[in-house]
Structure 1
Amino acid sequence: MGAPQAVPIDRQHVFDTPTAPEHSPYRGFVAGVFSGATKLTVGHPFDTIKVRMQTSTSAKFKGPLDCLTTTVGKEGLRGLYKGATPPLVGWMFMDSIMLGSLANYRAAIKSKFYPNHDTLPSFGHGMAGILSGWTVSLIAAPVEHVKARLQTQYNAKGSKAGVKYSGPIDCTRKLLSNHGIQGLYHGLGATMIGRTFFFFMWTSYDIMTRQLEQRTNMSPMLVNFWAGGLSANVYWLLCYPSDVIKQRIMTDSLENRKFKNWREAAVAVGRQSGVRGYYRGFLPCIMRAFPANAAALVAFEGVMRHLP
C-alpha cells in the first residue's frame, strides 16, 4: 500500500508494488513468519476468552471478565494459552502464506488491471485481500479447528477429567483416524466465508496508511501500528457474526452433528440467543484485534524494510 510519489522513499509503504522490478515474490513470505509469531504472543489469551464465550451458553460465564477470572482461577495462566502450539506454528505459516500471497496478488492485479497507475488503488488491495484470504484458508481451517477443540476443553489445573485430546498432535491424529481428512478440514467453507471480509481490512489499511503518511509526521512504524490496528477493528466489526458461526461449526460433534451446513449453524445462533448471540464474545475479540494486528504489522513491515 503505497504513498503518493511526493512522499519520501523512506516513508513509503513497503507493501505497495508500484513497478514490477521492485517487487520480490519472496520477501512477503519471509516477513510473514515474524508477523505470525508476534500476533500469537500478543493475541492468544484474548482469543481463548473469545472462543469460550462464543461456544458456551450465557449461564456458564456472565461476561468476558468472568470468563477470564474463571479460566485463570481454575486453570492458571496456562489456561489462557491452551491450544497455543498449533496456532504458533500455524500463525507463522499462515501469515507467511497470507502476506506473501497478498503481496503477489497485489503485484499481479496491478500488472493486469492498473499498469498505468503509479500505485495500486485501494480497491485492488481489497481484491488481493480476498484472494489471499481464500488461499490461506487452506492452511487456517485445520489449524483453527484443532485450536477451537482444545480451547473448549474445560478441565481444572492438573486434572485429566473431561479431556478428550491431550494436545494438538493427539487432536489432529484422532480427527484424522476417526473422520479422515474431511474431519480435519471440518469448517473450511465457514473459514473461507470469514476471510472474504479481508476485502475490508486491506482496503481500509491502504486508505489509512495513505492518510497517515500524507497528513501526519508519524514514523513508518507508528503508521503501520495505527493503520494495522484500526483496519483490524474494521474487519472484526464486519465479520464477527460469521466467526461465531464458524466456531459453532468447528466445535460441533463430528459423530452427532447439530449443523449440516453453514446456514443451519447461522439460524441456530439466532434462535438460541437472538441478535446478541452473533456478537457473543465480541469484547475480548475487539480488544485483541488492535494490539495483536498492530504489533504484527509493525513486525512485518519492519522486517520487509530490512530484507534485500
Structure 2
Amino acid sequence: MTIARVPVSSPPSHAPDVKRSSFKGELAGKGNATTEAVVGLLAGMVYGATSPLAGHPFDTVKTKMQAQASHRNCTSMDVVRYVYKTEGVKGFYRGLVPALTGGSIFGGIVLGAYGGTFAACEGTILAEPIPGTGGLRGAVVAGGIVSAASRSVIETPLALIKIRRQTGQSWLISPQSQHTLVNAGLQVKELYKGMGPTFWRSTFMLGTFFILNDYAVRLIPDVVNAPVVGPFVKGGVCATIGWLLAWPIEVVKSRVQADRTSNYGNKTTIRLIREIVKEEGLARTFRGIGPGICKSFVSNGAAMFMFHFLHEFMEKDESSS
C-alpha cells in the first residue's frame, strides 16, 4: 500500500511582521522596540519642552512655598505678590533654562523608555492582562518603572540647579581641596543630592500616569481621543492625579535639594516624611499643592496636545515608509 504524502507549503520568506493589537490614543504604537523608543524619544522631547514653557510660573511659586524658609508660612498669593514686587515678571521664570533643558531631555527619555519597554514586552507574559485589574497589562507597569528610573538619573541634577536658582542660591559648592578632580567629584555628588526621593516621586507619579492612561484609552476612548479635550484629560487629569499621590515625596525632594547643609544626611524618604508630619503636621506634606495642581494641569495638558500631534505624524510617516 502506498501512503500519499501531503505537500506542506513552506512559509513565505518575506512574511509580514505580525502587529500587536493596540488602542487608539496609547502612548506607544505598534512598532518594534527600537522604533517605539525613537518615536517616543523625539515626541517626548517636544512634550518635555512644552511643559515648563506652559507652567513654570506656577512651579516657581510651588518651589518657594516648599523649600524656602521665608515662604513656608505664606499662601500662594502672598508668594505671587512678593515675587512680582521684588523681581517683576522675570522672577517667575527664574530657573527656566535648566527646567527647559531638563524637560526636553527627560521628557524624551521618559516616553522613549516607556515606548521601547512596552514594545519589548510583546510576546512575554507582561503583554497579557494582569488578573483582577480590569485589563491592565504588565507592560504598562514595567514601562512606568523603567521610565521613572531613567527620568531620575537625568532630572536630579537639573532639578537641583532649578530649585537653587528659584530659591536664590548658587548650585556650585566652594572648592574643598587643592585637587581639581576631587572638587569635581564633590560637585557631582552635590548635584545628585535628592536622588532617592526623586526616584520614588517619579515612580509614584509616572506609574499612576501611565496606568490611568491605559485605563482611559480602553474605557473612555471617545473622550481621550477628542481633538482638544482628550489631551487635557490624558495629560492634565492623569498627570495631576499622579502628582497628588506623589506630592509628599515632592515636598521632601524640594527641601533636600534646596538644603546646603547636612541637616538631611542619609535619612530615608519615609523618615523625612514622618519628621515633617511629626514636627509640622500632615498639611505640610501637601505644601504648595495649589500652584502645583495648576502647573500640572496646564503644562501636561498642553504638552500632551503637542506630543500626540507629533507622535501621530511620525507614526503615519513610519507606516508609509
Which of 90, 114, 118 is equivalent to 1:78? 90
CA distance in 2, matches of 1:58, 1:35: 33
Q: In structure 2, give the amino acid aligned to 1:72.
A: Y
Letter in 1 for 2:290: L
Distance 1:93 1:218, change over 3 A: closer
Aligned residue in 2 for 1:156: none
The reply on whether 1:132 has 2:132 as its aligned counterpart is no
2:242 to 235, 257, 260: 235
Match of 2:115 in 1: 103
Matched ranges for 1:174-253 at <5 A: 177=184, 179-197=186-204, 198-213=206-221, 215-216=222-223, 219-253=226-260
For the residues of structure 1 that align with 2:128 and 2:244, how far apart are their CA atoms?
34
| 1:261 and 2:261 aligned | no
The aligned residue for residue 50 of structure 1 is 62
Give CA-to-partner distance per residue, 1:67-125, whole Å, 9 cap, x none. 111111111111111111111111111101111111001112233225578xx945431
State the Cα distance separating 1:219 from its structure 2 match. Answer: 2.8
- Please list every run of 5 or more consecutive structure 1 residues that lacks an aligned counterpart in the other structure: 154-163, 166-170
Structure 2 counterpart of 1:244, which letter?
Answer: V
Q: Displacement of 1:275 after TM fit?
A: 0.3
Q: Distance in 2 between matches of 1:193 and 1:141?
A: 12
- Is 1:289 matched up with 2:304? no
Quick one: structure 1 residues 60 and 277, their matched pair in 2 at CA, closer, same or farther if it must change by over 3 Å? closer
- Mapped partners of 2:303, 2:224: distance in 1: 22
Cα distance change on mapping 1:31 and 1:199 into 2, 3 Å: same
Partner SS for 1:257: coil
The equivalent residue for 1:25 is 37
AA at the equivalent of 1:209: V
CA contact (8 A) 1:269 1:278 kept: yes
Which structure has the higher relative contact order (CA within 8 Å, separation 6+)?
A: 1
Equivalence for 2:277: 270
Structure 1 residue 267, shift from structure 2 partner: 3.1
Structure 1 residue 225, shift from structure 2 partner: 2.4
Tell me, yes or no, if the aligned pair for 1:205 and 1:231 is still in contact at 8 Å: yes
Local SS of the residue matching 2:233:
helix
Conserved 8 A contact 2:57-2:92: yes
1:156-199 deviation line (CA, Å, top 9, x unaligned): xxxxxxxx53xxxxx35769658332111111111111111121
Show CA shifts across 1:191-230 (max 9, x none). 11111112111100121233331x4595355322212111
Instruction: Give the distance between the partners of 1:222 and 1:112, measured in 2 at CA.
Output: 34
Distance 1:144 1:115 in 2: 34
Alignment of 1:130-169 (within 5 A): 130-153=145-168, 164-165=169-170
Q: Is the 8 A contact 2:209 2:238 kept in 1?
A: yes
Q: What is the rounded CA distance, in whole Å, between the counterparts of 2:154 and 2:39 in structure 1?
A: 20
User: Which has the greater radius of gyration?
Assistant: 2
The structural deviation recorded for 1:17 is 3.9
Give the whole-Å Cα distance in 2 for the aligned partners of 1:88 and 1:179.
Answer: 25
TM-score, scaled to structure 2? 0.79
Q: Distance in 2 between matches of 1:47 and 1:58?
A: 17
Distance across 2 between alignment mates of 1:194 and 1:21: 26
Mapped contact 1:225–1:295 kept (Cα < 8 A): yes
CA distance in 2, matches of 1:90, 1:290: 19
Equivalent residue for 2:132? Answer: none
Question: Are residues 217 and 138 of structure 1, via their aligned partners in 2, closer, same or farther at CA, if it must alter by over 3 Å?
Answer: closer
